[in-house]
Amino acid sequence: LSLDDPSTDPLDVARDAAAFLASETGVAQHDVALVLGSGWGGAAELIGETVAEIPSHSIPGFSAPAVEGHVGTLRSIRIGDSDRHALVLGSRTHLYEGRGVRRVVHGVRTAAAAGVRSIILTNGCGGLNPDWTPGTPVLISDHLNLTATSPIEGANFVDLTDLYSSRLRDVAREVDASLPEGVYVQFRGPHYETPAEVRMAGRLGGDLVGMSTTLEAIAARQAGIDVLGISLVTNLAAGISATALSHEEVIEAGRDAGPRISALLAQIVGR
């Protein structure tokens, strides 16, 4: 069974991965999944005790580590002192890696096959709103998928209204009422946008620009699981600020925001 074989049903590979996961972790069913994008790494420890951690390349359908030495893992975490478990997908495949859209969404499909009812997709992104300084977390209210592709195959006309669950956004706002909302625009990447493309995204109604998330969200909806998307603005998108932000400022802002956004995520998961 290979995701690269068009005759393979990707859902069969996801079911194999979920079965492997259940046997390796001893956790038969996970309740919520999280994809931790750049800047969100610290959240796992705050959610609860790690029950098991598995290198993702040993799980059916997950590719070998994209970056040498960066071994992606899947972690099963007991949520607080409850008997619920979170599945933390530590390795994200981006569309720009050219491994195909099936691999971009395989983690989400595996989480769905593992029984999760909701998924929290996080990412690092560029912001179009100058009020959202680097380090600001923003709830995703909707998206513009500019990748010109879809994870859905065949005549499956999946409805995407309320794709970014308003119920889950309300839960997030119970934790932090000050959280702003925005429309997330996915560009294919890996290059950043030109200032003209950032202006175009703004004219189209976008507030955030990134290179992930929209395809994973669509696959999650196809699998029938609720989606909460949260972006971390790590930089002002190209052309938004008169002075180009220094890379150091961006890194520093992301790092400083770490503890706060990790606590936010852990509190949301705990509800």
Ligand X SMILES: Nc1nc2[nH]c(I)nc2c(=O)[nH]1
Classified as helix, coil or strand, 142 is: strand
Q: Which residues ranging from 141 to 160 are in contact with ligand X (CB under 6 A)? A: none
x/- contact string, 224-243, with ligand X (CB under 6 A)?
----------xx-x------
CB of 196 to ligand X, least distance (A): 14
Neighbours of 148 (CB within 10 A): 6
Window contacting ligand X (CB under 6 A); options: 17-25, 104-112, 139-147, 184-192:
184-192
Kindly state the number of chain residues that form the binding site for ligand X, as judged by CB under 6 A.
14
Query: Which span (1-9, 24-32, 49-57, 122-130) binds ligand X, by CB under 6 A?
Result: 122-130
Residue 250 φ then ψ, to 5°: -65, -50
**Residue number closest to ligand X, CB atom:** 126
125 binds ligand X per the rule CB under 6 A: yes
Q: Which two tokens stand for residue 260?
A: 């706060």
Burial 2-19 (b: 16+ CB within 10 A, else e): ebeeeeeebeebbbbbbe
* Rounded CA separation 149/8 (Å): 19
Report in angstroms how near the CB of residue 187 gets to ligand X at its nearest.
5
Which residues touch 178 (CB under 8 Å, ≥6 apart)? none
- Three-state SS string over 69-102 comes to CCCCEEEEEEECCCCCEEEEECCCCCHHHCCCHH
The residues in 191-210 that bind ligand X, with binding defined as CB under 6 A, are 192-193, 209-210
Kindly indicate which of the ranges 6-14, 86-94, 186-194, 214-222 contains the residues binding ligand X, using the contact rule CB under 6 A.
186-194
Please report whether residue 126 would count as binding ligand X according to CB under 6 A.
Answer: yes
- Measured from the CB of residue 183, what is the shortest distance to ligand X in angstroms? 14
Under rule CB under 6 A, which residues in 30-59 are in contact with ligand X? 38
Catalytic residues: 193
> Of 107 and 126, which CB lies nearer to ligand X in the complex structure?
126
222 binds ligand X (CB under 6 A): no
Cα–Cα distance measured from residue 136 to residue 180, given in angstroms and rounded to the nearest whole number: 9
Phi, psi values for residue 99, rounded to 5°? -90, 5
The CA-CA-CA angle for residues 66, 234, 251, to 5°, reads: 75
Q: Which residues bind ligand X (CB under 6 A)?
A: 38, 124-126, 187, 189, 192-193, 209-211, 234-235, 237
